[in-house]
Structure 1
C-alpha cells in the first residue's frame, strides 16, 4: 500500500470517528459517549474537541481520569484510576506526574479530564478470562501424576552416548 492511499484511508477513518463520537463542551464540562468529563487541567490550551472525537474509544469510559497529550500534532489518550482503587500504582492518578515526565515530551501540551460517572467496561468478561487462566495454570493431581509418569518414561528411553577415545 502506498503512502497516499494510507493517508486517504486515515483521513476517511478520522472523519467517520468524528461523526461517531460527538463532543460537547460547556465551560469546563465535556460530554462524549454519554459521559460527563470535567477539565481539571489544560496545560498550554491542549484540549481540542475535534481531536478528542477522533481519538476517543469506549474503553476510556472505565477510567476516573483521562489524560491527553499532543506530540507531532497527534493526540494520545491514557486512562488513570482514583488512588483508592486496587490497581497497579502506575495506573493510579497519583502517578500522573511520573507519566508526564517519562512518556510525554518535555513541555508538550496536555490536559486532564475527570470522569464524573465512570462505567465498568467488560467486568464479567474479565472475570471469565481470569477464571479460565487459573484453570490452565493449576493442573489437577491426575494431570500432575500423568506428566510425572511421562517424564520418567522419557528418561528411561533416552540412550546414553559414550564417546570412545582412541
Structure 2
C-alpha cells in the first residue's frame, strides 16, 4: 500500500518506476475517488491520470497502447476505498 495525502492506494504495476508520490499528490483530484483504478502515465514529462471502472479495467492495455507515448513510464493504482456514488445526482 502507498500512503498519499489522498488516501492509501495499492500499486498494481509500476512500469519504469513511474510512480512519484509528489507528482501524484499534486495531480490527483477528488473526482478520481469514483474510480477503483487510476492509471498515471508520463507524456512529454507531464503526469496524466485517467480513471477506470471495474467494467472497463480490461481496457487499460488498449489505453496505454493507443493514448500514451510508446514505451512511456506508467503505473496502475487500485483504490480500495473508491465510492462510485460520490458523483451521482439522485
What's the TM-score once normalised by structure 2's chain length? 0.91
2:16 corresponds, among 44, 48, 63, to 44
Instruction: Quickly say closer, same or farther: Cα 1:32–1:62, change in 2 above 3 A.
Output: farther
- What is the alpha-carbon distance in structure 2 between the residues aligned to residue 116 and residue 36 of structure 1? 8
Q: Structure 2: 5+ residue runs without aligned partners? A: none
TM-score by length of 1: 0.51
Q: Does 1:69 align with 2:41?
A: yes
**Which one of the candidate residues 99, 106, 110 is aligned to 2:63?**
99
- Partner residue, 2:77: 113
| Structure with higher helix content | 1
Where does residue 28 of structure 2 map in the other structure? 56
| Structure 2 CA distance for aligned equivalents of residues 75 and 110 of structure 1 | 9
Count of aligned pairs: 89
Separation (CA, whole Å) in 2 of partners of 1:29 and 1:48: 11
Match of 2:3? 30
1:78 maps onto 2:78 in alignment: no
Rg bigger for which structure?
1
Q: Are 1:30 and 1:39, in contact at CA under 8 Å, matched by a contact in 2? A: no
Say if 2:81 is the partner of 1:122: no
Q: Distance in 1 between matches of 2:54 and 2:23?
A: 25
